[in-house]
Amino acid sequence: MSERDELGSQSAYWNAAAASGTKQFAHPLHLPWLEDVSRSATVLDYGCGYGRIMSDLAQQALNNLAGVDTSPKMIAQARQRHPTMQFTTLDTPPTLPMAAASVDVILLFAVLTCIPEDRAQRSLICELTRVLKPNGLLYVSDLLLQNDQRNQDRYAKSAERYGTYGVFKTDDGAVCRHHPSDWFTTLLAGLDPIATRHITVPTMNGHESEGIQLLTRKPTPNH
């Protein structure tokens, strides 16, 4: 795998994280945004990790759920924790084994932060838009650029190496990205915005970070 492809999924890092069990994922699911979703809706959790959000969704009686992730060890963990749910390892991300216009709701929680490059993020959103039904929802939760000195120092240190301000390497070796808020407007320009909320969330390494959640809808063809 080329360095560029590897940066797009970093499976070795996520496999080790799954095996160690030390990473907590904590982006909150804002249930009011999903209250009009039919209980039989098809829901895809892209980058599902160990199935945390799928479990929250199942508690809301949503039962047509699928989770995908590039890390085989995350998927193994997810299957072990939730044996009745459907999980798939993605070998060639972002390509999904799903027909066009077949999914009602997609969740993308703390995944863009793991995909440092613009090009890879754009091709992911393009693939998610392909599988969404017209009027389907894409719910994104991710991290913003932080104002504190620790983060600003690491953005500055890594900007030249990675070519994007906000991309940095964590102390334990993941290449992550924090985003200016207008990047999400650019990235999600093909979808209709419905709602935005700001969150404060503990990162997987235990720091408090500012994040953003965006609810968008795929336009209907003649919209």
Ligand X SMILES: C[S@@+](CC[C@H](N)C(=O)[O-])C[C@H]1O[C@@H](n2cnc3c(N)ncnc32)[C@H](O)[C@@H]1O
Answer yes or no whether residue 162 interacts with ligand X by CB under 6 A. Answer: no
- Residue 44 or 115 having the CB closest to ligand X: 115
The 22-41 site mask, x for binding ligand X (CB under 6 A), equals ---x-x--------------
The residue whose Cβ lies closest to ligand X is 49
Span 115-144, contacts to ligand X by CB under 6 A:
115
Q: What are phi and psi of 172, to 5 degrees?
A: -100, 15
User: How far apart (Å, rounded) are the C-alpha atoms in residues 48 and 87?
Assistant: 8
Of the candidate residues 65, 93, 103, 166, the single one contacting ligand X (CB under 6 A):
93
Q: What are phi and psi of 213, to 5 degrees?
A: -120, 135
- Residue 134 or 202 having the CB closest to ligand X: 202
- Residue 5 or 219 having the CB closest to ligand X: 5
Q: If binding means CB under 6 A, how many residues of this protein chain bind ligand X?
A: 23
Q: Taking Cα atoms as reference points, which of 155, 173, 175 lies closest to residue 165?
A: 155
User: How far apart (Å, rounded) are the C-alpha atoms in residues 26 and 24?
Assistant: 6
Integer CA distances (angstroms), 56 to 45, 62, 133, 139, 210, in order: 11, 9, 23, 15, 22
Answer yes or no whether residue 104 interacts with ligand X by CB under 6 A. Answer: no
Provide the minimum distance between the beta carbon of 29 and ligand X in the complex, in angstroms, as a whole number.
9
Span 179-198, contacts to ligand X by CB under 6 A:
none
Cα torsion 102, 107, 111, 115 to 10°: value is 40
Q: Taking Cα atoms as reference points, which of 26, 22, 28, 29 lies closest to residue 43?
A: 29
Answer yes or no whether residue 110 interacts with ligand X by CB under 6 A. Answer: yes
Answer yes or no whether residue 204 interacts with ligand X by CB under 6 A. Answer: yes
Answer yes or no whether residue 90 interacts with ligand X by CB under 6 A. Answer: yes
Name the residue type at position 68. Answer: V
Q: 3-class DSSP state for residue 50? A: coil
Answer yes or no whether residue 74 interacts with ligand X by CB under 6 A. Answer: yes
Residues lying near ligand X in the complex (CB under 6 A) are found at: 8-9, 14, 25, 27, 47-49, 52-53, 69-71, 74, 90, 93-94, 109-111, 114-115, 204
